[in-house]
Amino acid sequence: MTKYKTVKIERRGAGWGGPMYITPTAEKPYIACCTGMAIHKVAKEIAKLTGGELRDAFRNPPPFEQMACMVTDCGGTARCEMYPSKDVPTICVFPISPPATSKLGDKLNDLLITGINSPKCVTLVEDNE
């Protein structure tokens, strides 16, 4: 029995990758957000639906291994490469495409989705059990 639920994250317009499924666990409870001055509404929606715990990953970052996912407003170079390189599923609010030169290659297919700028991109996956 778990208190956490799964969400599906998918693009509703321009962007790259996905869909992505996020389920926090006792070991990975944090919905981390690194988007400037405020916690982004996408991160708030993921936390609300899954039961995960919101964390400002710029000012108070949890360890990578405790992050269920990371919501970022990366312009394409730094954070969209850094967080997937640490095996953290990364959700970018801007519709960037990763550079073809990315060292992460196919790993990004599983760990990066971009263009997720609205809570409407996040839906609860109903439990069929």
Residue pair 64/46 in contact by the 8 Å Cβ criterion: no
Q: Which residues sit at the interface with another protein, rule CB under 8 A? A: 34, 36-37, 57-59, 61, 64, 73-79, 82, 86, 94, 96, 99
74 noted as active-site residue: yes
Q: How far apart are the C-alpha atoms of 129 and 117, rounded to whole Å?
A: 31
Beta strand extents in 24-74 (DSSP E only): 30-34, 53-56, 67-72
Q: Which is nearer to another protein, 102 or 123 (CB)?
A: 102
Q: What is the nearest approach in angstroms of another protein to the Cβ of residue 60?
A: 9
Q: What is the nearest approach in angstroms of another protein to the Cβ of residue 46?
A: 20
DSSP 66: G
Residues annotated as part of the active site: 74
